[in-house]
């Protein structure tokens, strides 16, 4: 096949320069430094092609390019789709020749077979876990200026089929970063607060949601503004019989004149071959349609579109976009709760049940804290953050310091209490977060069986001293995690035994409040493991009331009659009750003071942020004025 370079250049130029809106938006990011990027070594070329050793000529040989003899791009009549649309069966295909180790440039390269894309994605058993992985990438971009992440349904322009959109306004990815993102085992997230760490989340999540994914990313820095497009397509690799993973990519850069130009890092032939593959296997059949996807990204950001979404066993799309226009649900995953008929509605509508099939419910509790300047938008509507700790009544706060080999490995504060709907709800368990991200929602750490022990008891904690599994839906079963599991069981039973009377069950142990230690604002001792309101984890078995009952039993009925006749018992019990009530009042006053102090602190922070916003708006206005003046001078 012969390509007419001159005519192809003209077509590409028209596609790039025809976007006047884009040119106006990016004019201020003119290139200040000439980059000699075409002098990359052959070894870097093979890495950036992401073919693990496949040369550019090999890419050209696969399939027929959508370039006709006139040098213009033509639309394909049929949009390719994967041969099997059910995820758990998509891996069953004839892979042809086995993958092999090859020699290139004197070095050995291990080719990664396309089958690995599917087997790698099976780590996500739950489809919402895959979506959360992509949302995590946007949340990690908060430190780079991200203020929102959009999760929505769009329609493929090829065939009108539903596709999933994940978009943020973070820092975006330059050509090198996007190649790391779509390769295996690379992670650029060095921050201790970053959720991602393995460099595998993008591949597993996108391939779990659908057979194909296309990425658009724009990145701006002091040197240049670039925008890149990459395609990770299971359909392309399997239907063309590839024995290795090939990821077509193209890059553009803003030139000194304020127009986009091709960034042919590895030669014009490489760019054209990759562009032809993008136009054949992506939802967009022309270069102009590809570039149009950058119009709503802004100066920087990333857009991920997952298409050819997987079907469930019933032959329906696994993600349900139709039942609720403001939500995304899992098709056919609503299960009836087994409980009393009078309590069925409150259990079915509880968030612990809804999060299993409603993405809106799951996203609302996915993060323990969300910055005030960051929002999650689902189907065009903001997701309201849900603090699970506020759903609890009769709260207690427990400090736990795990130890290993005699050393303290961390410290966590557990909020525990009864759900507000208790005892009607059958829910119990702990919501365990890691680095602000929910890993285990409503983990039923104990089985209360027929005696209802632990019914309605729920806890919330952030455990950063244990590591989550790759799909972020469980924790690695290390010795530290096993110790945590044992301690949470103790907390559950302990809390139930002392508080079950508050929701109508028979009390097995009586509460003995003591004065909160002065070194803790919430009554949390600095000891190894204590509770708010002086409720020690190693509680004494007998309170003052227990001692009184013991004395009465030993004295006999005659002594009881004597004490009662002289009003002694009434006075003692009354005195003890008054002391307990007085202590509760002291505790509540102390907690109230601490909350007031926090409110004042938040108010001051709000005022500071308002001043900062005002200042930034003023500076932005000045920059806009200066920009308009410069544009006027440039026009004249």
The tens digit of pLDDT for each residue in 427-453 reads: 999 999 999 999 999 999 998 767 788
| Residue 34, pLDDT score | 41
Band (pLDDT 50/70/90 cuts) for residue 356 is very high
In angstroms, rounded to a whole number, what is the distance separating the alpha carbons of residues 121 and 271?
A: 29
Q: Which of 81-90, 144-153, 299-308 has the lowest mean pLDDT?
A: 81-90
Which 3-state string (H, E, C) describes 198-227? Answer: CCCHHHHHHHHHEEEEEEEEEEECCCCEEE
Lay out the sheet containing 412-419: strands in order across.
392-400, 412-419, 457-462, 429-434, 437-443
Average pLDDT over residues 183-210: 66
| Residue 584, pLDDT score | 64
Whether residue 73 has pLDDT greater than 90: no
Bigger pLDDT: 338 vs 129? 129
Bigger pLDDT: 597 vs 635? 635
Spell out a b/e string for 37-61, using b for 16 or more CB atoms within 10 Å of the CB, else e. eeeeeeeebbbbbbbbbbbbeebbe
| Residue 515, pLDDT score | 44
Residue range 516-556, pLDDT digits in tens: 444 433 333 333 344 444 444 434 333 444 444 444 444 44
Whether residue 110 has pLDDT greater than 50: yes
Contact 411/399 with Cβ under 8 angstroms?
yes
Query: Hey, CA dihedral for 349, 354, 357, 362, is it positive or negative?
Result: positive
- Give the CA radius of gyration of the chain: 31
Q: Which of 168-182, 328-342, 361-375 has the lowest mean pLDDT?
A: 328-342
| Residue 138, pLDDT score | 95
Q: Which of 254-263, 313-322, 501-510, 525-534 has the lowest mean pLDDT?
A: 525-534
- Span between the terminal Cα atoms of the chain, in Å: 47
Percent of the chain's residues with pLDDT above 70: 67
Write out the two tokens for 505: 């069950």
pTM across the whole model? 0.68
CB atoms within 10 A of CB 230: 24
How far is C-alpha 396 from the geometric centre of its chain's CA atoms? 28
Alpha-carbon separation of residue 354 from 150, 369, 631 (angstroms): 21, 20, 53
Whether residue 31 has pLDDT greater than 70: no
Whether residue 624 has pLDDT greater than 70: yes
Whether residue 372 has pLDDT greater than 60: yes
* β-bridge mates for residue 307, sequence order: 212
Residue range 140-172, pLDDT digits in tens: 999 999 999 999 999 999 999 999 999 999 999
Residue range 581-595, pLDDT digits in tens: 566 666 677 777 778
* β-bridge mates for residue 210, sequence order: 309
Contact 226/255 with Cβ under 8 angstroms?
no
Contact 90/118 with Cβ under 8 angstroms?
yes
| Residue 113, pLDDT score | 82
Residues 6+ apart with CB under 8 A from 317: 162, 309, 310, 311, 331
Whether residue 51 has pLDDT greater than 50: no
Average pLDDT over residues 257-262: 87
Average pLDDT over residues 288-294: 96
Residue range 199-230, pLDDT digits in tens: 577 888 999 999 999 999 999 988 889 999 99
Percent of the chain's residues with pLDDT above 90: 45
Phi, psi of 529 (to 5 degrees): -165, 95
Band (pLDDT 50/70/90 cuts) for residue 567 is very low
| Residue 242, pLDDT score | 87
Whether residue 78 has pLDDT greater than 60: no
| Residue 360, pLDDT score | 98
Bigger pLDDT: 388 vs 19? 388
In angstroms, rounded to a whole number, what is the distance separating the alpha carbons of residues 552 and 268?
A: 97
Averaged pLDDT score across all residues of the chain: 76
Bigger pLDDT: 115 vs 198? 115
């Amino acid at each position: 096949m012969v390509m007419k370079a001159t005519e192809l250049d003209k077509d590409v130029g028209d596609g790039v320069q025809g976007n006047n809106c884009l040119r106006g938006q990016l004019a201020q990011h003119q290139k200040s430094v000439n980059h000699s990027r075409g002098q990359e070594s052959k070894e870097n070329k093979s890495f950036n092609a992401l073919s693990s050793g496949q040369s550019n000529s090999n890419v050209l040989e696969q399939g027929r390019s959508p370039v006709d003899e006139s040098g213009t791009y033509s639309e394909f009549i049929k949009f390719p789709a994967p041969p099997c649309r059910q995820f758990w069966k998509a891996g069953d295909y004839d892979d042809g020749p086995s993958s092999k180790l090859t020699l290139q440039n004197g070095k050995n390269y291990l080719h990664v077979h396309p089958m690995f894309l599917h087997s790698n994605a099976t780590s996500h058993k739950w489809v919402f876990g895959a979506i959360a992985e992509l949302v995590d990438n946007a949340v990690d971009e908060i430190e780079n200026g991200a203020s929102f992440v959009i999760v929505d349904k769009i329609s493929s322009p090829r065939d009108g089929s539903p596709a999933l959109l994940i978009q943020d306004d973070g820092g975006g990815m330059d050509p090198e970063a996007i190649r790391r993102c779509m390769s295996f085992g690379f992670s650029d997230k060095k921050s201790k607060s970053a959720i991602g760490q393995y460099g595998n989340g993008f591949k597993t999540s996108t391939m779990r949601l659908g057979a194909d994914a296309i990425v658009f990313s724009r990145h701006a820095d002091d040197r240049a503004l670039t925008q890149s497009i990459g395609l990770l397509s299971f359909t392309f690799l399997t239907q063309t019989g590839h024995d290795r993973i090939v990821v077509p990519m193209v890059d553009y850069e803003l030139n000194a004149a304020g127009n986009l130009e091709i960034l042919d890092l590895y030669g014009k032939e490489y760019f054209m071959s990759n562009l032809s593959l993008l136009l054949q296997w992506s939802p967009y059949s022309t270069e102009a349609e590809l570039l149009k996807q950058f119009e709503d990204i802004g100066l920087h950001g990333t857009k991920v579109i997952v298409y050819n979404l997987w079907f469930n066993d019933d032959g329906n799309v696994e993600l349900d976009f139709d039942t609720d226009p403001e939500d995304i649900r899992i098709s056919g995953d609503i299960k009836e709760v087994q409980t009393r008929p009078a309590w069925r509605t409150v259990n079915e509508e509880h968030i612990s049940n809804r999060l299993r099939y409603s993405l809106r419910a799951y996203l609302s509790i996915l993060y323990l804290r969300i910055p005030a300047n960051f929002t999650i938008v689902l189907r065009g509507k903001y997701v309201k953050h849900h603090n699970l700790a506020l759903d609890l009544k009769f709260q207690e706060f427990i400090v736990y310091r795990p130890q290993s080999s005699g050393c303290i490995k961390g410290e966590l504060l557990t909020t525990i209490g009864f759900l507000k709907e208790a005892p009607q709800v059958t829910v119990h368990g702990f919501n365990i977060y890691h680095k602000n991200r929910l890993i285990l929602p409503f983990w039923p750490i104990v089985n209360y069986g027929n005696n209802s022990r632990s019914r309605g008891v729920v806890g919330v904690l952030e455990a950063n001293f244990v590591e989550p599994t790759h799909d972020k839906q469980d924790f690695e079963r290390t010795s530290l995690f096993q110790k945590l599991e044992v301690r949470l069981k103790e907390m559950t039973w302990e809390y139930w035994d002392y508080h079950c009377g508050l929701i109508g069950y028979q009390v097995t142990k009586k509460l003995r409040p003591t004065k909160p230690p002065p070194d803790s604002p919430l009554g949390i001792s600095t000891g190894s493991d204590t509770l708010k309101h002086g409720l020690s984890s190693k509680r004494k078995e007998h309170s003052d009331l227990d001692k009184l009952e013991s004395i009465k039993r030993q004295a006999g009925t005659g002594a009881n009659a004597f004490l009662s006749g002289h009003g002694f018992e009434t006075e003692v019990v009354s005195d003890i009750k008054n002391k307990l009530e007085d202590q509760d009042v002291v505790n509540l006053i102390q907690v109230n003071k601490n909350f007031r102090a926090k409110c004042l602190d938040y108010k001051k922070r709000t005022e500071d942020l308002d001043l900062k916003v005002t200042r930034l708006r003023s500076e932005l206005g000045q920059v806009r004025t200066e920009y308009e003046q410069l544009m006027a001078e440039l026009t004249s």
